């Protein structure tokens, strides 16, 4: 029997390397600072608990993305139920269009937020998102199209 450790890194270095990626993805899902904080800690505590090994940094990143999205799922319901989010739980963005987009993303269906974030922020192709989320590439394209349409409507005040 062999201990598998193909791409080792200290837990601390993993936190420092992926802190922003995990936090931004978590916030993209729940759009609340306090929930993003909780998810952030849960993801890295799971990392210690599971002690996963990876063949590459790309695989490590993919694992962190999946776990972040899984952890975010249980926060969706409560986040959805809340009609308002305390002001200190939100970000004050520097430009009006950023604040407008933030508001629109709060209204956007949660299942679309992951593909939007991975596509527009992480720079993933639809094929890479398909692999990361383990859904069909056609589903990714459909979700992106619907997300764009929903965001456009919301930003125009049609929703």
Partner 1 sequence: MLEKTYRSMNAQIEPGQELINDTIELMRQQSRHVKHKTRPMLRRPIVAAAMFVLCIVLATPVLAANVPAIYHLMYLVSPDVAQFFAPVQKAYEDNGIRMEVVSAYIHDSTAEIYVTLQDLTSDRIDETTDLFDSYSINRAFDSAATCQLVGYEKETKTATFLIRLTEWGNQDIAGSKLTFSIREFISRKTSLEGVAVGIDLGAVGEAEAVQTVDALGLSGKNIGSFAGDSGGHVMLVPGDTLYTPTEGLEVTAIGYVEGMLHIQLATSEKLTLDNHGYFYLVDQDGNQIQSDYSVSFAKGLDSDARVDYQEFVFDIAPDEIEKYSLRGSFWTSGLRTEGSWRVTFPLLVSE
* Shortest reach from residue 83's CB to partner 1, in Å: 22
Q: For residue 124, give the DSSP letter.
A: -
Site string for partner 1, 29-48 (x = CB under 8 A): -------xx--xx--xx-xx
* Shortest reach from residue 98's CB to partner 1, in Å: 4
Largest Cα–Cα distance in the chain?
61
CA distance 77 to 62: 24
Burial class (CB in 10 A: 0-12, 13-18, 19+), 72: buried
- 6 contributes a contact to partner 1 by CB under 8 A: yes
C-beta separation of 140 from 148 below 8 A: no
The residues that touch partner 1, with contacts defined as CB under 8 A, are 1-2, 4, 6-8, 11-13, 15-24, 27-28, 36-37, 40-41, 44-45, 47-49, 52-53, 55-58, 61, 63, 66, 69-70, 73, 91, 93-95, 97-98, 101-102, 116-117, 120-125, 128, 131, 133-135, 148, 151
């Amino acid at each position: 029997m062999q201990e598998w450790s193909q791409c080792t890194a200290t837990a601390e270095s993993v936190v420092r390397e992926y802190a922003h990626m995990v936090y931004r993805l978590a916030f993209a899902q729940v759009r609340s600072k306090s929930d993003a904080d909780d998810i952030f800690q849960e993801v890295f505590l799971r990392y210690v608990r599971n002690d996963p090994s990876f063949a590459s940094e790309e695989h490590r990143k993919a694992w962190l993305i999946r776990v972040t999205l899984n952890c975010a799922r249980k926060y969706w319901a409560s986040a959805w139920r809340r009609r308002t989010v305390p002001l200190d739980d939100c970000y004050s963005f520097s430009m009006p269009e950023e604040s407008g987009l933030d508001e629109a993303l709060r209204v956007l269906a949660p299942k679309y937020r992951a593909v939007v974030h991975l596509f527009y922020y992480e720079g993933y192709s639809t094929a890479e998102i398909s692999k990361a989320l383990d859904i069909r590439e056609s589903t990714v394209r459909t979700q992106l199209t619907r997300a764009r349409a929903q965001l456009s409507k919301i930003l125009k005040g049609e929703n």
